[in-house]
Structures are given as C-alpha cells and as structure tokens.
Amino acid sequence: MGSLPTLHFAIFPFLSQGHIIPLLHLSRLLRLRSAAVTIFTTAANSPPICAALADTDVSVVELPFPQHIQGLPPGVENTQNLPSNSFFIPFAKSTKLMQKSFEKALQTLNPPVSCIISDAFLGFTLHSAHKFNVPRLVFFGVGAFPSTMYQVLGREKPHAAAASLDEPFPIPGFPGLELTMNDFEPPYNEVAPSGPYVEFMEEQLASMAASHGMIVNTFYEMERRYVDYWDSKIGPKIYCAGPLCAVAPPRTAEEKLYVRFLDEKLAEGRPVLYIAFGTQAEVSPEQLREIALGLERSGVSFLWVLKSETVEFCPNFEERVRERGIVVREWVDQLEVLKHEGVCGFLSHCGWNSALEGITAGVPILALPFMAEQHLNARFLAEELGVGLRIMPTGGSVRGHVVAEEVERVVRELMCGERGAEARRKMAECGGAARGAMKEGGSSMGTLDLLIDEISGRRSRP
C-alpha cells in the first residue's frame, strides 16, 4: 500500500500586516509537520513575506493586485498604506477581483491543493475551494471572546432595552458578564446595524459559516468558555492554534538604540514600560499629548514606539524625559522587546496580535483601546483574565478622551502598585499556559495535529 498523498495547504492572508504575520507562523508549523505550504499574496507584499520565511521552503506565489479601483489610491496593496480607515471597504472589496488569478495559480500546485486556509475577509475563496473540491478553513485574526460577543449581540440583541451607550446589560448565556453598547464598534452597537461595512461583513460571515472550520489565534485554556459556546451554538468549529507568535523564530541580534536603552535601564534597576499602538490606530494629536504628559508625570522609564515623525503635539517632550524615556520611530521587533527582562509593562491599543505577544512574554498590559474589537479585548484582558489594568476616559464611558492625570495614575499603579503586582502574577500564570499550549503535547499543537489528520482523512478517501 503506497503512502498517502502529501498534503498541500494554500494559505491566503488578507493584505494587512496584522493578518499576514500570524499566518506566516502557522505556515511554519504546517511545514514542520511535513505538509507542503504555499502562501498567496501580491508583489508589494511579497518581499517581507519571503524574508520572514527565508529559512523555510514555504512557497510564495504573487498574484496581481486589481488596478484602477474607484475610491482607492493607486499603488496601495496593504492596509497600512491606506490614507485613512475610510478607504478600507473599497480596498477589501477589491480583493474579490483576485479570484480568477488565485484559481489559475491553484491549478499549478504540485502536489495538488488539499486545503485552502484563507483570511475571514477573503470570503470568495470559499467558491474556489468548492471548485477544487477541497475544504476551506477560515483564519480569524481576533479571539473567541469578541467573536462570540458580536454574534450574541447580533442574534439576541440584549442591548435593545439599554437607555444609553454606557448602560450595562447582561449577555445571554454568560451569567455575570455585562457589557455596554460602547464596548462594540459602531454601527454594530445599533439594534439594526446597516451600511457598507455591515454588508461586507455579512458576506464574509456567510462564507465563514459554510466553511469547514475556523482557525483562531488563541489557546483553549484561556477562552474555553467562549470557544465551547461558539462550537455549540454558532459554528463553524473553532480550532484553537495559538498563540502563534510563540513559535516566531528569534531574529539575528542587532545593535539597536532601543535595545541599548533597555539594557541600560535593566542595569540601573529601573523597570521599563513599553508603549505601542499598532499600525492602524488613528490617534489624535490631542490624545497623544495627554498620553505624553501622563508618562512624563508618572516618573517611570518608558520606550514609546510612535508613528508620528515628530512629537509637536507636546513640545520639548523628548528633551524633558531624555534621562528615563525614549521615543522610537523605526520598526521595532515587538515580541523581542516584550521578552526583554527590563520590560515590566505594556501600554497597548489591545489589538489581538499585540495582546497575544504581551501574554506570551508574560508582560502585564495597560489597556487603551481605540477601534475595532479592541474595547472588547481590553475588557477581556483587564476584567475577565485580570492580566492588566485599564486607562479610562473621563465621564465614566469606555470611549472618549483620556486625560494625563488618568494616564499618570494607572501607569504608576501598573508599574509600582498592588493592583499592578496582582496583574503581573496573573499574567505570569497566563503566559506560562500560553507557552505550554504551543509546546509538543500542548493543547494548540494537539489541535493542529487533529486538523491535519482530518484533512488527511479527506485526501485518503477515494
């Protein structure tokens, strides 16, 4: 009896850094399990992908990005290069025009494609999977908690009776859990949401529901309650395969200014707060000024990664804090920074990738969400898990302007206070569980093996 055909996974990430990076880690894991892996992307996104996978034999196929799309600036092939978030829908919709070139490329794969793993935003790949008679797995780049909460909100509408955006209401099926409409991104916090983004997401969710399953970058022990609910009441089945950042290969050590800074502060016995808000969040100069003033007044040492070319929102800020804080405008290896022994806190927008990197490194999180599902992530981290604290806006709402006094107070509490010490203890436990899930014999690795066996079973049937 001959050996089974080699499995071949076709992986198609959405064209956004936060969506691409975890799927590169997943590609490594699948390749280590003797599966062939091909990643599909565009010419502009290909170089960093190829560089990240240079030590593997994962294949990268370039597809042409649609040209002359109405409402979309020419030459943009990644969401991080969009002028603003208002361009997202035209960009996301344009990816549907890649279906023909994707399927043409699938025909050339050797061995033939066994399974398509595509981002949830690329719903058209379900039709491609049907054409090639292979299963489609959806990769969803957020955790089980926000995914489940949005589904419950849309189906059960527990917010219908709430008198205001900030009035707590109970979540059906989850005793003791209360949320507010402001925990959800507009327009989804409306009773009958509508608009272009809602229409786009409904299309993607319909494709997801008809898929074989959903790979989620999380681990079962952390989100058991929400994974079980999803599997029993929503579907398709969740495969917990994370945190995928735990298998990121170490980078070649480079002499960087920020690394020297961290080393110096460690030698001085001064713990450092790391601050980064991702690539997509649009933070106003006024809000950045309050954050800067709060950091200055807190007295803690910090490393702030900032997209802005200047800090004109707070004149002379860098000069005033130069003995204990630095602002970095170059690319930073965030996971390596978080793993540095001197980093003892992470002021984050609570994007899911950043949250998982903080958890994997065991660094407690100071939550300051801005957009998308980040407010729910902040709730989950600070209140459900207790692995961090939250900076709150004025006026008692979870949304709005954060003032310097609040930043100063909570930064000090995280770095020096009792609540920070408790968050650090809980994060150490959670981080250990996260790393354990990604070891051989861990829950996420076992789930990945189960998934591979399922796909192999499909291939072995006549």
**Residue 235 included in any domain:** yes
Task: Specify whether 181 is located in the same domain as 321.
Answer: no
Collapsing DSSP to helix, strand or coil, 42 comes out as: strand
User: Which pLDDT belongs to residue 331?
Assistant: 84
User: Which pLDDT belongs to residue 70?
Assistant: 86
**Residue 401 included in any domain:** yes
Closest residue by Cα to residue 203 from 312, 116, 266, 127: 127
- Write down the residue that tokens 């959903």 correspond to: 214
Task: Specify whether 84 is located in the same domain as 203.
Answer: yes
Task: Specify whether 285 is located in the same domain as 297.
Answer: yes
Task: Specify whether 91 is located in the same domain as 142.
Answer: yes
Region 413-438: mean pLDDT is 97
By the 10 Å C-beta count (0-12 exposed, 13-18 middle, 19+ buried), 402 is classed as middle
Which residues contact residue 258 at a Cβ distance below 8 angstroms, ignoring those fewer than 6 apart? 303, 326, 328, 332, 337
Task: Specify whether 229 is located in the same domain as 363.
Answer: no
Helix ranges, 132-213 (H): 144-156, 196-209
Q: Find the range with the poorest average confidence among 316-320, 340-344, 380-384.
A: 316-320
Task: Specify whether 451 is located in the same domain as 430.
Answer: no
Residues recorded for the chain: 462
User: Which pLDDT belongs to residue 1?
Assistant: 35
Q: What is the CATH number of the domain that holds 293?
A: 3.40.50.2000
**Residue 154 included in any domain:** no
**Residue 152 included in any domain:** no
Q: Which domain holds residue 314?
A: 257-436
User: Which pLDDT belongs to residue 253?
Assistant: 57
Q: Find the range with the poorest average confidence among 241-255, 360-374, 383-397.
A: 241-255
Task: Specify whether 179 is located in the same domain as 322.
Answer: no
Region 264-286: mean pLDDT is 91
Region 354-381: mean pLDDT is 97
Closest residue by Cα to residue 147 from 236, 221, 78, 80: 236
Orientation of helix 418-437 relative to helix 220-233, angle to 10°: 70
Predicted confidence (pLDDT) per residue in 296-324, tens digit: 999 999 999 987 665 677 888 888 998 89
Task: Specify whether 71 is located in the same domain as 202.
Answer: yes
Query: Taking a C-beta distance cutoff of 8 angstroms, is the pair 18, 47 a contact?
Result: no
Region 262-271: mean pLDDT is 96
Could you tell me the pLDDT band of residue 457, with boundaries at 50, 70 and 90?
confident
User: Which pLDDT belongs to residue 251?
Assistant: 73
The mean predicted confidence, pLDDT, of the chain is: 93
Query: Quick check: 5 pLDDT over 90?
Result: no
**Residue 337 included in any domain:** yes
Predicted confidence (pLDDT) per residue in 161-212, tens digit: 999 999 999 999 999 999 999 999 999 999 999 999 999 999 999 999 999 9
Query: Quick check: 335 pLDDT over 60?
Result: yes
- Residue 345 backbone phi and psi in degrees, to 5: -160, 155
Query: Quick check: 92 pLDDT over 90?
Result: yes
User: Which pLDDT belongs to residue 4?
Assistant: 47
Region 56-84: mean pLDDT is 92
User: Which pLDDT belongs to residue 460?
Assistant: 43
CA 153 to chain centre: 21
**Residue 250 included in any domain:** no
